[in-house]
Structure 1
């Protein structure tokens, strides 16, 4: 039995509600799919109120038996949840469903397309409601980490923004709104879910503003233009229609702990954008003291994390019982630091290479390298936690994007300073990152192709810049200006002249590169590389990247094609 119940779940041109309900899996499968989402994906998402969503799903199936048509928004949400389960499948789930991994991948696409068909239906089946809002948000959350829907993610986010304003959620907790709820009554589950949906959108927006890509340097949601309280730090079972039975301080772990941590990280990103608009808009270099002040905010935030989210041995020891009771806390602890250290790398990236030779920026170099190593270490920790939580990070584009960025930072450092005493050890660590990236190839060829394209773009740019310097006479000032460190750094297998300078006239290492790397046409950069070619690509990048100065390296990084749909971590 497949995840889709061996049914034909292709997308008709204009299906009716009856047609759509026929695409639902049998009830026993639906329960398995829903329970898996609640156990594995909800702890990293946190928007849904699981008890009421489960009740809604059961009502849909009961209504079908009685001949009733379920609301379109309810169907869209359920299909979005099923798509999420198909993305986060585990061997245990497949065994229970008698399904294969290929059927899971097919079900992910099918369920996603059905949910999109409901949203795009020409009869406009979806009306503004809390359920419709979280259905679109959930689908967008899933599609961020799939290969074929980058434009739809942006459209879904735009739909969510417009619908939330139409529902007046940006004014949810004004004095007038609170008084109206007091006088007329309300469904507090609905209110809490609206808060969750709003702050999930806000966090994604602010994280995107400091994650690379076309949205870097700007955000949409202005703090002064909203009045929405943070969701309660409590478990779903303690939220009822009549009210919140018990709320806890952030020092107490709940199913909403990771949600709050994500919003806090996103707020730090927003503060960076507010403090450094000039650097991100390419107008003027910021005062370095501002970078250091922002760095202090990040490190203070890390120091003030609740004990169950801290990484030191003593805190982990103290949190053992919490992690036993709530296994997802250990995974959330890793992802919290994963996101924070990625942003620390990004904050200091402009100065980290210059910090090798300029003592003024030595701190940025140290933080960049340390945080990049931490990102790779945390990525390996995710694999260790896979048997506990069930999520496989190699399937998630946002995770692999951050891993690629951290590995690139370390590769730049090795290439910029190959004569350092620990260069060999650092190079080995960078090459080890290849193995981590390679794991994703087995999960998603398209995802891996994006990483390959980024690396090939860098190699092509390196080739063009090296070609410009290789035609100059050996030893001329212009040649050494092209590679400022040529007078003090030698490259592997490269002859050294009598003055101790590296000869760059004949660069044999370039001739040894795969032919696909020598192309300068953007359309030829994406190739179907075999495993050996891909390994060589990464190895050659580390080996032949020249000793460029800081502006040249920053220019290379601008060529990397960062996707515009990031924002989960």
Structure 2
């Protein structure tokens, strides 16, 4: 969005409401979707007139989400679609991903937005050159449409790299696009940049578009990677392993060429620490873009991780998987130390999930690649990760599921985290038997979007069962389970928010 334009639209919208005049459903849906997403992250407090607890914020987000979806449905049946409809569908997809995980309902929101964008011919936005006499308002509108289109395209391409029914497929083809990349500038500077028809001067500090453009760059890389690499493990094994290494290097290059304020290394974070006073979202955005890149690197190599135990030529894939997992875990520690309520809330939907995926990689490595030189270090890292979940499991039953599942898997494969000779639970960091109901329960209210207010209206958004299926199979299987079956189980885990 262009925030000044959206604020002006909001003022006009409420003026019409106050005067008893009709309003456009697309604009109503856009405002409701903004409020729904904002409510989820709202910093509740005892003195708040809106929400006094995180549960209140989630409940309010659900109510506003229901209203937004109702209005979008009305708009779909009564209009041909507008830019505001697309924006509302995209914001609702983000809201649903936070409330429900990477569900079919959230993906449907993105698909609907793409369909409307095609009807509005956004993919050919720049087929015709813009004349010099075009008004500033038209130039801003055109630039917003570029932002909207490229957000759709990047979301489409990134989703094609997430396990699920949509994996390996995208709707927006690069050969069908004639849309310029949006300007890298803040909204306050956009009018000046467009009126002078110049590229903005990008300095060392972030802009409101910095994360957007890096996300798009990663999405383009992921699309190119999955255009070439097959999904089936049998076909992937037929590709020269050097090609896998080449794609890995492209991901590494992407990470190393991120702007300094998004880089993960300690020196870059030290240099940009003063910026965080002016741009408080930098830590969260840094985590989002880096964990997105490292999770794709893990996914690239995970089908070779377990094969290291039978074929030493895959040692590089094991190293890449472990390095990526460690990067996610180490930065989670820094993010967890932030006292911002927004970041604490975001941990539930973003950081905790990806830390869990990283721990899965380390646990599987301990179970299958025995006797490695860094085994003791990995055990210490897993032990520290389990302690994080132990310390925070009171926040959500979902954390109890993560904790119990990892511990049970270690027990199943007789991996001892403390004393390798210990024959009993001591070395496992023992399972909390008193919390067994938590392990068997469904996700908490934060993730249970459908089964309360919205379920009665036919909007069935159910949690993807792949998480539970993965661990049930993992705990019931023998250690010599076929490697291809483990590949499928690994992929089943990767179905949470982008």
The match for 1:423 among 375, 379, 399 is: 375
Pairing of 1:140-155 with structure 2 (within 5 A): 140-147=93-100, 150-155=103-108
Q: Distance in 1 between matches of 2:72 and 2:387?
A: 40
1:291 aligns with 2:241: no
Kindly indicate whether the alpha-carbon contact (under 8 Å) linking 1:441 and 1:448 is maintained by their aligned counterparts in 2: yes
Shift in CA distance, 60/308, structure 1 to aligned 2, threshold 3 Å: same
Counterpart in 1 of 2:18?
65
Counterpart in 1 of 2:447?
none
What is the CA RMSD across the aligned residues, in angstroms? 4.0
Counterpart in 2 of 1:53?
6
Counterpart in 1 of 2:441?
528
Question: SS state of the match for residue 385, structure 1?
Answer: coil
Q: Distance in 2 between matches of 1:98 and 1:388?
A: 13
The match for 1:493 among 423, 432, 447 is: 423
Give the number of the structure with larger relative contact order, counting CA–CA contacts within 8 Å between residues 6 or more apart: 2
Cα deviation, residue 357, structure 1 = 5.9
Counterpart in 1 of 2:464?
none
Which has the higher Rg, Structure 1 or Structure 2? 1
Deviations for 1:384-440, whole angstroms, at most 9, x for unmatched residues? 2342864523331x5444222211110011112444455344224224333445677
Counterpart in 2 of 1:546?
479
Shift in CA distance, 149/411, structure 1 to aligned 2, threshold 3 Å: closer
Counterpart in 1 of 2:305?
352
Counterpart in 1 of 2:453?
none
1:408 aligns with 2:360: yes
Q: Distance in 2 between matches of 1:149 and 1:421?
A: 37
Kindly indicate whether the alpha-carbon contact (under 8 Å) linking 2:72 and 2:85 is maintained by their aligned counterparts in 1: no
1:364 aligns with 2:297: no
The match for 1:318 among 268, 271, 280 is: 271
Pairing of 1:325-340 with structure 2 (within 5 A): 325-340=278-293
Shift in CA distance, 325/555, structure 1 to aligned 2, threshold 3 Å: closer
Pairing of 1:37-436 with structure 2 (within 5 A): 48-91=1-44, 95=48, 97=50, 99-121=52-74, 124-147=77-100, 150-174=103-127, 176=128, 178-179=129-130, 182=132, 185=135, 187-240=138-191, 243=194, 247-249=200-202, 252-277=205-230, 279=232, 282=235, 284-356=237-309, 358-387=311-340, 390=343, 392-396=345-349, 398-420=350-372, 422-436=374-388
Deviations for 1:416-465, whole angstroms, at most 9, x for unmatched residues? 244445534422422433344567765554x5598589879x969x98xx
Gaps of 5+ in 1: 1-47, 467-489, 495-508, 518-523, 532-536
Shift in CA distance, 321/401, structure 1 to aligned 2, threshold 3 Å: closer
Cα deviation, residue 97, structure 1 = 3.6
Counterpart in 1 of 2:452?
none
Q: Distance in 2 between matches of 1:405 and 1:131?
A: 35
Cα deviation, residue 251, structure 1 = 5.3
Kindly indicate whether the alpha-carbon contact (under 8 Å) linking 2:329 and 2:358 is maintained by their aligned counterparts in 1: yes
Cα deviation, residue 156, structure 1 = 1.3
Deviations for 1:339-390, whole angstroms, at most 9, x for unmatched residues? 1111111111122233356442221111111111111112222222342864
Shift in CA distance, 454/157, structure 1 to aligned 2, threshold 3 Å: farther
Deviations for 1:240-279, whole angstroms, at most 9, x for unmatched residues? 4993567233855201101111111111211210221264
Shift in CA distance, 555/99, structure 1 to aligned 2, threshold 3 Å: closer
Q: Distance in 1 between matches of 2:403 and 2:51?
A: 34
Q: Distance in 2 between matches of 1:415 and 1:60?
A: 59
Q: Distance in 2 between matches of 1:78 and 1:530?
A: 29
Gaps of 5+ in 2: 414-419, 445-469
Cα deviation, residue 326, structure 1 = 1.6
